[in-house]
Amino acid sequence: MNELNQPLLEQLRPVLEDITERSQLIEAFIDKDTYCILAGTVWANVVLDPGAAGLHEDDLPDLHDIIGHWSAPILGKEEGTIGGIFKFLNSKAGERAMQAAQITPNHKDLLLFFASMILDPEGHRRWTDAIRDRQTKR
């Protein structure tokens, strides 16, 4: 992994600490399902509007690395990547986790939209093209 962007890490530290704290069951145990939902939500929202988080689009690769660096000790090396987080969210276990967390349908759709984009970019492109084509034919 490249060296982390330390100023960006410090800027994001409060958010990363917050999602970690919100996922804690007790001091030493973290609910990994909740952590994945929160980390995935942070990633999706920042990608949709980097400026709202005080970032630029150019910061997204560094954010990707920072989330992975922060999440790996919690979730595991592979599971702690952005891809690993969205792979979980797109799984049956992720479906159950989102249901148990009682996230809204829009929130769930957002996370699954990003899972599709990250895990199957070609399939996602075909899917969005088909939706766009149907909307243009109306």
**pLDDT tens profile 27-37:** 779 999 999 99
pLDDT tier at 77 (50, 70, 90 boundaries)? very high
Q: What is the pLDDT of residue 110?
A: 93
Range of the domain at 63: 6-136
CA 54 distance to own-chain centroid: 18
- Residues 32, 37: Cα–Cα separation, whole Å: 9
> Tokens standing for 32?
């990994």
Question: 114: pLDDT confidence band, cut at 50, 70 and 90?
Answer: very high
Q: pTM for this structure?
A: 0.86
111 within some domain: yes
Which tokens in the block code for residue 68? 């992975």
> What is the token pair recorded at 18?
């917050």
Give the position of tokens 């919690």.
Answer: 74
Find tokens 């150019």 and name the residue: 58
Residue 1 lies in a domain: no
The number of beta carbons lying within 10 Å of the beta carbon of residue 91 is 13
Q: DSSP strand E in the chain: where?
A: 24-26, 29-30
Question: Which residues have C-beta within 8 Å of that of residue 118, sequence separation ≥ 6?
Answer: 82, 83, 86
Does 15 fall in a domain? yes
36: nearest Cα among 98, 113, 99: 98
- Note whether residue 60 is domain-resident: yes
Q: Average of pLDDT values for 45-64?
A: 93
C-alpha 135/C-alpha 17 separation (Å) is 42
Number of domains the chain is built from: 1
